[in-house]
């Protein structure tokens, strides 16, 4: 399923990078999934523009991380999980696989709950029914992947465009405070709750499953017979990553800005997605509320399909096993449906799932840094020292933040 039927011919390398763009736009949907809606709207409505810097820093980290993942696929012809299986001991590999499966469940919880919420808002469907519909639509999108990479990428990019249009409309009606946004780029917190929320925003932005996925989207897709072709591919993927991650970063910033401008007032902060939808309708009009709900729905559908795809890659890479997508979908769907059936606050579940994801980042990021610095694996595409240093600093910051968060939770 992950090897495309048509490979890019070498002459595409001469015609420019456009035919080679796409993988980063698939992974970008993971950066604007329903978890981002919950964390960024909560951040904006609760703390105003205080945590703008978290969005900016997270997005810069995401650019570097996704570029390294794309590069490792091109250089080695393997996915990141497969490299872990080859290079680490069986015990280490098993531990990495188990935590990656936990990450997959947390990811699917966010996507399915988000889609269910959108369907409830739009059509007043029960949450469990909405969750099942989201899962079915996501499975339908995955069918496109079996027909080649481009149909799936076009569908995901189209859903990404729906989300962007909704955000732009809402922010145009809610207004901007440029000075407050600039002031928000100064790193600071406002108590333990803001720290936990920042960790959730980080987990919602830098997604572990997207790190695994990107290497699979580039490892067998393009012709790379010569060193010159491999370098040309890496250059094209750099453009792909910067373009896609910049769009995702702007969308995350718009979410926080909308929350700060339209949802923060003298009363208690709006900390649920349903509350945000109602507030948009009251303050910005029915059009803004409708586009917000449609954006959430597009996010849930697209992100759920991408999450299931990455789950297959994780299992194939770490333990060389592949199960039918229907079974895979059912296993990861069960916890999300349980959350919906038990009546747990969906928005709270989304935020907690993003905190769980932030703990999974180091287990994907550290191996990525270790592999991309090795010339015996990467050849001429090995990291420069400054790139490895930057990636190591990113990993250290994420681990430190998670450590502080763990102490706060305990």
Indicate whether 146 belongs to any domain: yes
Q: What is the pLDDT of residue 262?
A: 85
Q: What is the pLDDT of residue 7?
A: 42
Cα 187 to the chain's mean position, in Å?
A: 23
pLDDT single digits (tens) 255-295: 999 999 888 765 666 768 888 899 899 888 999 999 999 99
- The pTM of this model reads 0.88
Domain count along the chain: 1
Picking from 347, 343, 341, 345, the residue whose alpha carbon sits closest to that of residue 128 is 341
Q: What is the pLDDT of residue 354?
A: 73
Q: What is the pLDDT of residue 11?
A: 39
Q: Which has the higher per-residue pLDDT, 6 or 179?
A: 179
For residue 99, count CB atoms less than 10 angstroms from its CB and return exposed for 0-12, middle for 13-18, buried for 19 or more. Answer: middle
Helix (H) or strand (E) holding 207: none
Q: What is the pLDDT of residue 12?
A: 39
- What lies within 8 Å, CB to CB, of 8 at 6+ separation is 19, 20, 221, 222, 223
pLDDT single digits (tens) 142-159: 888 777 777 888 899 999
> The domain containing residue 230 runs over which residues?
12-409
Does residue 280 sit in helix, strand or coil?
A: helix
Give the residue-averaged pLDDT of 287-314.
92
Rounded to an integer, what distance in angstroms lies between the CA atom of residue 326 and that of residue 381?
37
Indicate whether 1 belongs to any domain: no
- Looking at the chain, the whole-number percentage of residues with pLDDT higher than 70 is 91
Tokens of 240: 């792909």
Rounded to an integer, what distance in angstroms lies between the CA atom of residue 112 and that of residue 349?
11
Q: What is the pLDDT of residue 2?
A: 42
- Averaged pLDDT of the chain: 86
Task: Select the highest-mean-pLDDT range: 3-7, 13-17, 271-275, 375-379.
Answer: 375-379
Indicate whether 3 belongs to any domain: no
Q: What is the pLDDT of residue 233?
A: 86
Indicate whether 53 belongs to any domain: yes
Q: What is the pLDDT of residue 186?
A: 94
Distances (CA, A) of 374 to 135, 309, 377, 381: 39, 28, 6, 9
Q: What is the CATH number of the domain that holds 100?
A: 1.20.1740.10
Indicate whether 6 belongs to any domain: no
pLDDT single digits (tens) 91-117: 999 999 999 988 888 888 889 999 999
pLDDT score of 4 more than 60: no
pLDDT single digits (tens) 47-96: 999 999 999 999 999 999 999 999 999 999 999 999 999 999 999 999 99
Q: What is the pLDDT of residue 246?
A: 94
pLDDT single digits (tens) 159-217: 999 999 999 999 998 877 889 999 999 999 888 888 888 877 876 678 888 999 999 99
Q: What is the pLDDT of residue 266?
A: 59
pLDDT single digits (tens) 9-36: 343 343 444 556 788 999 999 889 888 8
Q: What is the pLDDT of residue 221?
A: 67
Rounded to an integer, what distance in angstroms lies between the CA atom of residue 34 and that of residue 57?
20
């Amino acid at each position: 399923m992950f090897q495309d039927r048509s490979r890019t011919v070498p002459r595409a390398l001469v015609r420019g990078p456009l035919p080679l763009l796409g993988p980063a736009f698939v992974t970008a949907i993971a950066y604007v999934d329903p978890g981002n809606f919950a964390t960024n709207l909560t951040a904006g409505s609760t703390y105003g523009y205080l945590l703008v810097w978290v969005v900016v820093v997270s997005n810069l980290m995401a650019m570097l991380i996704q570029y390294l993942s794309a590069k490792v696929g091109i250089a080695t012809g393997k996915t990141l999980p497969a490299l872990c299986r080859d290079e680490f001991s069986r015990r280490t590999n098993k531990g990495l696989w188990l935590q990656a499966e936990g990450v997959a469940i947390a990811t699917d919880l966010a996507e399915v709950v988000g889609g269910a919420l959108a369907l409830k808002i739009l059509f007043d469907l029960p949450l469990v029914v909405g969750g099942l519909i989201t899962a079915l639509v996501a499975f339908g999108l995955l069918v496109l992947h079996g027909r080649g990479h481009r149909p799936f990428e076009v569908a995901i990019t189209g859903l990404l465009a729906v989300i962007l249009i909704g955000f732009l409309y809402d922010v145009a009606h809610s207004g901007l405070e440029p000075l407050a946004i600039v002031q928000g780029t100064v790193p600071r917190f406002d108590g333990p709750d803001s720290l936990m929320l920042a960790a959730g925003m980080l987990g919602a932005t830098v997604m572990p499953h997207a790190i695994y996925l990107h290497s699979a989207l580039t490892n067998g897709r393009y012709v790379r017979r010569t060193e010159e072709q491999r370098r040309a591919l890496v250059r094209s993927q750099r453009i792909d990553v910067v373009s896609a991650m910049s769009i995702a970063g702007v969308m995350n910033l718009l979410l926080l800005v909308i929350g700060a401008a339209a949802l923060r007032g003298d009363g208690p902060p709006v900390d649920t997605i349903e509350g945000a939808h109602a507030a948009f309708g009251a303050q910005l009009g029915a059009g803004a509320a409708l586009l917000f709900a449609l954006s959430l729905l597009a996010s849930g559908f697209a992100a759920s399909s991408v999450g299931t795809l990455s789950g297959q890659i994780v299992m194939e890479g770490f333990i060389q096993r592949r199960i039918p997508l229907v079974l895979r979908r059912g296993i990861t769907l069960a916890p999300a449906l349980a959350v919906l059936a038990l009546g747990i606050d969906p928005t709270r579940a989304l935020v907690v799932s993003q905190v769980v994801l932030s703990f999974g980042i180091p287990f994907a990021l550290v191996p990525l840094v270790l592999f991309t610095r090795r010339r015996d694996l990467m050849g001429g595409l090995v990291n420069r020292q400054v790139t490895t240093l930057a990636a190591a600093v990113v990993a250290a910051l994420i681990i430190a933040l998670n450590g502080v968060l763990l102490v706060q939770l305990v």
